[in-house]
A and B are shown apart, each in its own frame.
Chain A
Amino acid sequence: MIDHVNGVVVGVFVFLFLLVTVLGFAAARWRRGEHLESLDEWGLGGRGFGTFIAWFLIGGDIYTAYTFIAVPATLYAGSVVGFFAVPYTIVVYPLIFLFLPRLWSVSHRHGYVTPADFVQGRYDSRALALAVALTGILATMPYIALQLVGMQVVLQVMGIGTGSDNWFMQDLPLFIAFVVLAAYTYSSGLRAPALIAFVKDTLIYVVILVAVFYIPHQIGGWGHVFSAASDSFSAANAQGAVPPKGTQPTGAEWAYASLALGSALALFMYPHSVTGVLSTRNRSVIRRNAALLPAYSFLLGLLALLGFVAIAAGVKVENPQQAVPQLFEDQFSPWFAGVAFAAIVIGALVPAAIMSIAAANLWTRNVYKAFVNRDATPAEEAKQSKVASLLVKFGALVFVLALSKEFAINLQLLGGVWILQTLPAIVVGLYTRWLHRWALFAGWAAGMAWGTWLAYGVASPTQAHFGGPLVNFPGTETKFYIALLAFGLNALVTVVLTVVLRALGVDEGEDQTTAQDYHADLGDAGVDAELAAESRVHA
């Protein structure tokens, strides 16, 4: 509705958006290294980010705009299982603490840019590395698309673009935002999201802190918020809501726990998380961040509860994803609503940039260099990645514009199922070489196939397939996260086949890494502060 557009809201929003655009392009000059045209520079920001920058960058990776829209939306809709995002973001940090420093060390020693590079070096299997790379690209695309969905929701609530019946005019604002994002990612690489992440998080922190203290105070306190949500759900249940609504996950404890664990295990298999981690300057940065990043989890928990706050404040929207933006528009003065909307949209740009860079790196290193041009120079690699990052982003844009949003959300759910299947090759590989490369490949294939099949069979009120992340645990009536079930099969196949293949004496390939590589730190042989492309132990 065009008459809903508020000039102040849009003005503040546009101003902040222009600010980060300038920052994005200026980032190309920020902390610039000597060797400009290489993936270490463009794709990993020179591998020199300290604790402070890494905190913002990795925070931008994990807590995306979509999280800020979708998690409160599930609570608003009365499905408290969505609050699993909180235990998920608690469980993930001990895992990061334990295994990612090892990945950092071995990757720096050998100049690995992607998780698939590590798999290639460790297992000497181009097939396995390709499987890991393609899984990563496949799982990342819908994740980028979801960031766009988050942006779209905010633009809708602001009333931008919705006044026109022409599809092109409707989507034009989203299109402009994305062209800008694509342009500065192309020119500045990982430095752009790293610099913009400062703005993003400052805005998000201010908005959320104001939102969780000011709004509940305005409408009668948190006690009232919870009782209002509870009353609203009881009323809905009395009218026969399916599934029943509530403020506790009673009866779905296993669903809740398995979603938290499965998501935590999957998170650091995502290429963009690995990109964030590998861009840090030494091992300690990662561990320090494992203790510092939970500050965001606290924020996420409070933010999720804004779903209940929206109910208590009388927000009524058809699409639950609009609940929080609508709450901001109703409760904040126009200029602060503009700040809040800008925070969410910028919060989508940062992860979208990192994800497209990560997917582009996978393409360049593990498809282009491994299969197309084996003698690619670092400059050719950087060029290839830049172009690939554009293609990945426009692929995601087409996705959002051409297909239904439900489809994007469900592919994201499948992404979690898929990416978790790369865990045995990556994480177990950091500790032991015992698992056989062909067993890992077979386990991956089994997990992918069964996970996709299970997800295909889930129906929801709105669609016949890919309707949700949960199925009954085999032989029981207990709902469980598909990704963990598929992972269980994957692990079983991998272990059994490893025993068989080892007994048969099948060639296990040559391991490029040594035990020492997993402990190397900044300053050790092969781990320079600014990696020159020629100085690696292995290219």
Chain B
Amino acid sequence: MSSRGRWVLIGLLLTPAVVLPLWVSLYDRAEPTLFGFPFFYWFQLLLIVVSVALTVPAFLLSQDADRRDRVAHGLPAEPSGEDRP
């Protein structure tokens, strides 16, 4: 897959994490409740977990897309700096 293809895929992965929280009428309701939480509240807390679940594969894809972009811009594929977490 090309770098552009990867960025499109990353965009698709991240779109729900932006659109769903802003689509308020989707979750502005009390039922069904979960552990006593109205839907409005537990759904938004769930969205946090969903956004993390989407960001992780996006991160992995971006590592590869970055390498391709670096080569395309005349840089070595791997930066020589040590990457310690």
Which residues of A are at the interface with B, using a C-beta cutoff of 8 A? Answer: 50-52, 83, 86-87, 90-91, 93-95, 97-98, 101, 221-226, 247-250, 253-254, 256-257, 260-261, 281-284, 287-288, 290-291, 294, 297-298, 301-302, 305, 515-516, 519-524, 527, 529
Contact = CB atoms under 8 A, between A and B. Distances in A.
B55 A97 contact: yes
Interface in B52-85: 52, 55-56, 58-59, 62-63, 66, 69-70, 73-76, 79-85
10 contacts: A93-B51, A94-B51, A248-B28, A253-B25, A257-B22, A298-B48, A519-B69, A521-B81, A522-B80, A523-B80
B30 interface: yes
B14 interface: yes
Contacts of B29: 248
A519 B70 contact: yes
Interface residues of B, number: 46
A257 B24 contact: yes
A145 B70 CA distance: 43
A228 to B, nearest CB: 11
Given A253-B28, A283-B66, A260 B22 contact: yes
Contact of B45 (A51, A93, A298): A298
B72 to A, nearest CB: 8
A250 B30 CA distance: 11
B36 interface: yes
A302 B69 CA distance: 40
B51 to A, nearest CB: 5
A90 B22 CA distance: 10
B28 A90 contact: no
B22 A521 contact: no
Interface of B: 10, 14, 17-18, 21-25, 28-30, 33, 35-38, 40-41, 44-45, 47-49, 51-52, 55-56, 58-59, 62-63, 66, 69-70, 73-76, 79-85
Given A97-B58, A282-B83, A527-B81, A294 B44 contact: no
Given A282-B83, A521-B70, A247 B63 contact: no
Contact of B14 (A83, A98, A301): A98
Contacts of A290: 55, 59
Contacts of B44: 83, 86-87, 90, 301
Contact of B85 (A51, A87, A291): A51
A422 B17 CA distance: 24
B18 A222 contact: no
Nearest to B22: A257
A499 to B, nearest CB: 27
A290 B10 CA distance: 13
Contacts of A247: 30, 38, 40
A519 B78 CA distance: 11
A416 B44 CA distance: 23
Nearest to B33: A223
Nearest to B50: A90
A254 B28 CA distance: 11
A305 B40 CA distance: 12
B45 A301 contact: yes
A50 B14 contact: no
Given A225-B36, A248-B40, A524-B75, A294 B52 contact: yes
Contacts of A225: 36
A503 B15 CA distance: 35
Contact of A248 (B30, B75, B81, B82): B30
Contact of A522 (B17, B52, B69, B83): B83
